[in-house]
Structure 1
Amino acid sequence: MTAPPPRPGLPLGSDGYPAAGGVARRAAGTEESARANRRWWDAAAPAYLAEHGTDLGDVDFLWCPEGLREADAHLLGEVAGRRVLEIGCGSAPCARWLRAAEADVVALDLSGGMLARAAELNRTTGIAVPLLQADAGALPLADAGLDAVCSAFGGLPFVADVGAALREVARVLRPGGRFVASVNHPMRWPFPDSPDPADLRITSSYFDRTPYVETDDAGRAVYVEHHRTVGDWVRAVVGAGLVLEDLVEPEWTPGRTENWGQWSPERGALVPGTLILVATRP
């Protein structure tokens, strides 16, 4: 499947990422969140992949900045011959890794910019996975048709109604199907966005769910990120009709030196940065 071309981009800063006119903590609903994040990731895709593409790889499955890989963790179990959906695939290295492991995989993302790069890498790697542009809250897939759904920092932190998104996951999974997703650890929310352990000071409330919103000069949202507590994530998974089997908080991989925003070896030695939800459909 060919990804549609991205829509006109946002103005970029000197770092290549969309330049925000302002930052706010305010409500942001489903449509506003999806519209803003689609445009942001379309515009940010080149800079993001230039910064992190080497670490992500072209055919690899990295669950999180801490360096946990599916090849070592086996959180999805046996994938050969299984039908798998990846939500928030970005340039789709995880999906290509799954395809190389003989899974029947579809890679989904909201961003046409990310999917355009995924299509390029399909060609250059010779490992072609079907690409689908869609919102995680409205999966254009049949009921009970998948053996597994996965998401490696893809989509869920940016969805306003995560309960609806997880109900969609439960709908498309067959009975006994597996769901695994890595998200920002809720413990990141109260601290400054810095990799320096000296900045581990609480500057906002862990319990404040008000979204983080970047705006343009007219005050329109251009980026939205939603916060949930650990309890919120557990209730959302259970409320979707899934059975939560594990919560994984990966420790920093020894010898790994890569920094991702506030994720760093120094900070990773002190506090968790990623939460991985492991669940099944009964």
Structure 2
Amino acid sequence: MPGCLPRAPSVGDVSDPHRTAEAVLGPTRPVKRPAGPDDSRRANRRWWDADADDYHAEHGTFLGDADFVWCPERVREADVGLLGDVRGRRVLEVGCGSAPCARWLAAQGAQVVAFDLSAGMLRHGQEAARRTGIDVPLVQADAVALPFRDAAFDVACSAFGAVPFVADAGAVMAEVARVLRPGGRWVFSVTHPMRWIFLDDPGERGLTAVQSYFDRRPYVEVDADGEPAYVEHHRTLGDRVRDLVGAGFTLTELVEPSWPEDLDATWGQWSRTRGEVFPGTAIFVCEKR
């Protein structure tokens, strides 16, 4: 998401101990098991509340307090303009995390509201608002039950927020469509679906396919009691398009960022080694019919 750009693992690597979250939730381990809407909601609220401090300590400089970064490949909205001219537009940020994107949008003249499931992430958003002097309304809400009226917004956006963490992605698309006016734009970034084929390893091991692209079982970590502590859901490109069309959107562009020549940093499983071979991010640019 920036809010919360992705963390590894999402398929099966267990090298990252997630120390800060574990201090709250205890040790976790990956399992292959179903995770419905309630499991996903409870787990991810717990995880991001517990991990918010460590996440921002590690990634806060990259995200910035008022910047709009679409993905670890460092694609910035200021450079690509996927949302169009936002001045005076009513904009909703979906799964905002600490809301750096929303504050950047507000600085461009947009009328922004941002929401997230995690109170821990929103707390960091309040702290950043005090640092920057850019205050946007922050709402704690579930992406499948938005507390906004129909056609309330001109634009909706999400940089790795909410969409990968919800069991029923089609319901998210339907809710975003409901709160957008006809002709409204919806742009969101997620881990590229083909990444689920590979181990979450930024090195050479991460170039070896270990899982079927069509295996849609979620990535789940459970705590010592067997309760889900983290859940992330895989959908194919076809699944994403089907959900969008079913909700009343037209897909106008699919952006698959290449790895920048001047970027040598890693972010979880994102690295030059992998990024020069296959995409790590998919950005969907859509309009409500």
TM-score normalised by the shorter chain: which range applies? over 0.9
**Corresponding residue to 2:247 among 236, 240, 247:** 240
Aligned to 1:72: 79
In the alignment, the residues of structure 2 paired with residue 28 and residue 199 of structure 1 have an alpha-carbon distance, to the nearest angstrom, of 25
Aligned to 2:261: 254
Identical aligned pairs, as a percentage?
60
Instruction: Give 1:190 shift.
Output: 1.2
Q: Tell me if structure 1 keeps the 8 A contact 2:185–2:285.
A: yes
Aligned to 2:129: 122
Matches within 5 A, 1:134-173: 134-173=141-180
Distance change (3 Å), C-alpha of 1:149 and 1:229 = same
**Corresponding residue to 2:19 among 6, 15, 22:** 15
1:135-166, Cα deviation, whole Å (9 max, x unpaired):
11111001011000000001100000000110
In the alignment, the residues of structure 1 paired with residue 127 and residue 277 of structure 2 have an alpha-carbon distance, to the nearest angstrom, of 38
Instruction: Give 1:254 shift.
Output: 2.3
Give the number of equivalent residue pairs.
271
Q: Which moved more, 1:247-256 or 1:43-52?
A: 247-256
In the alignment, the residues of structure 2 paired with residue 277 and residue 239 of structure 1 have an alpha-carbon distance, to the nearest angstrom, of 15
Matches within 5 A, 1:83-122: 83-122=90-129
1:85-143, Cα deviation, whole Å (9 max, x unpaired):
00111111100000000000011100000000100111111000110000111110010
**Corresponding residue to 2:219 among 200, 212, 215:** 212
Instruction: Give 1:202 shift.
Output: 1.0
In the alignment, the residues of structure 1 paired with residue 157 and residue 151 of structure 2 have an alpha-carbon distance, to the nearest angstrom, of 15
Distance change (3 Å), C-alpha of 1:148 and 1:14 = closer
Instruction: Give 1:198 shift.
Output: 4.1
Q: Which AA in structure 1 matches 2:122?
A: L
Aligned to 1:276: 283
Instruction: Give 1:257 shift.
Output: 2.4
SS in 1 for 2:260: coil
Matched, 1:40 2:47: yes
Instruction: Give 1:38 shift.
Output: 0.3
The 4+ residue runs of structure 1 with deviation greater than 6 A are: none
Q: Unaligned stretches of 5+ in structure 1?
A: 1-12
1:61-89, Cα deviation, whole Å (9 max, x unpaired):
00000110000010000000000000111
In the alignment, the residues of structure 1 paired with residue 151 and residue 98 of structure 2 have an alpha-carbon distance, to the nearest angstrom, of 26
In the alignment, the residues of structure 1 paired with residue 206 and residue 255 of structure 2 have an alpha-carbon distance, to the nearest angstrom, of 25
Matches within 5 A, 1:215-226: 215-226=222-233
Q: Tell me if structure 1 keeps the 8 A contact 2:199–2:205.
A: no
Instruction: Give 1:14 shift.
Output: 7.0
TM-score of the pair, normalised by structure 1: 0.94
Distance change (3 Å), C-alpha of 1:227 and 1:14 = closer
